[in-house]
Amino acid sequence: MEGTKTGVAENKFLSASEVVIRTDKLTKRFGDFVATNEITFEVYAGEIFGFLGANGAGKTTAMKMLCGLSRPSSGKAVIAGYDIYKDTERIKKKIGYMSQKFSLYEDLTVMENIRFFGGIYGLSNKHLQKKSHELIETLNLQNEANLMVTSLPLGWKQKLAFSVAVMHEPRIVFLDEPTGGVDPITRRQFWDLIYSTADKGITIFVTTHYMDEAEYCDRVSIMVDGVIEALDTPANLKRRYSVASMDEVFYHLARGAKRSVD
């Protein structure tokens, strides 16, 4: 399918870039139902990769496999250098994850959350001490360090959750609709964080329903009915479908979706 060819001309990652996600016909079946059907793609180090699709297209299933949480039915994948069947525990150490639904423990303080997740990710006490102070300072949360997370505004929580998810300097961070319900200014500040994290070489793998955010990605894949229908830079996708916005690209591809199973 033509859509699976990557945007060669404009891809700043093409030269000398390391592949951090490589899948080959990755498939997940639930009985007769093929949730994710032979998806093949690569993601490069430091890339902001948008993973779009209609509800029920198979995004969540694919993400669970890539995070080492769900065993594929068939196909191959290497994540951060590790095999998706044999090395799931190693994969988990090399990735971060954040979503709007799962982020932080509301009834722990800001500092407690940082220490808790730092511990989970295996940071040493000394390293954790240093990291937590850096993090509090970068986010300007000095006055809130000992407050319960529940008392923070949503936008702050999301920024904190993101920072916690990359505290252990993973190769890839998976963001599942990280900006849902966030106000327009905070939503943009969140993307500033994403950019600066990608500049450090951490790969961003992000899903969103905001089509303007699709424009901020280096490359975007669009899943329809379990397959990757298109994968390219936003500029190339718009050119291919002769439209002015990613919203129209998405509409063009996803309105043909047959299934809508979550």
Partner 1 sequence: MVILNNISKTYNDGRVIAVNDVSFDVNKGELFGLIGPDGAGKTSIFRMLTTLLLPDSGTATVNGRDVVKDYKYIRNNVGYMPGKFSLYQDLSVEENLQFFATIFNTTVEENYDLVKDIYVQLEPFKRRRAGKLSGGMKQKLALCCALIHRPKVLFLDEPTTGVDAVSRKEFWAMLQSLKEQGITILVSTPYMDEAMLCERIALLQKGNIMSIDTPENIISTFPDALYAVKAHGMSRLQDVLRNDPGVNSCYSFGDYHHITFTEGNNADDPEEIREVHDKTEFDHFPEYPHVSALLRRIQHEGFQDLEIKRISPGIEDCFIHLMENKLH
Q: Which residues contact partner 1 by CB under 8 A?
A: 53-56, 153-155, 177, 180-186, 188, 191, 195, 199, 209-212, 214-216, 234-235, 245-247, 250-251, 254-255, 257, 259-262
CB of 238 to partner 1, least distance (A): 8
Q: Where are the alpha helices (DSSP H) in 55-149?
A: 59-66, 88-94, 110-120, 125-138
CB of 222 to partner 1, least distance (A): 11
**Cβ-Cβ contacts under 8 Å for 150 (sequence gap 6 or more):** 106, 107
Residue (82 or 97) nearer to partner 1, CB = 97
Residue (157 or 168) nearer to partner 1, CB = 157
CB of 30 to partner 1, least distance (A): 13
CB of 209 to partner 1, least distance (A): 6
Residue (82 or 216) nearer to partner 1, CB = 216
Strand ranges of the sheet holding 19-30, from the earlier edge strand across to the other edge: 33-44, 19-30, 74-79, 82-83
Residue (130 or 209) nearer to partner 1, CB = 209
Q: What per-residue string of b and e applies to 199-224 under the rule 16 or more CB within 10 Å gives b?
A: eeebbbbbbbebbebbebbbbbbbbb
Q: What are phi and psi of 203, to 5 degrees?
A: -80, 135
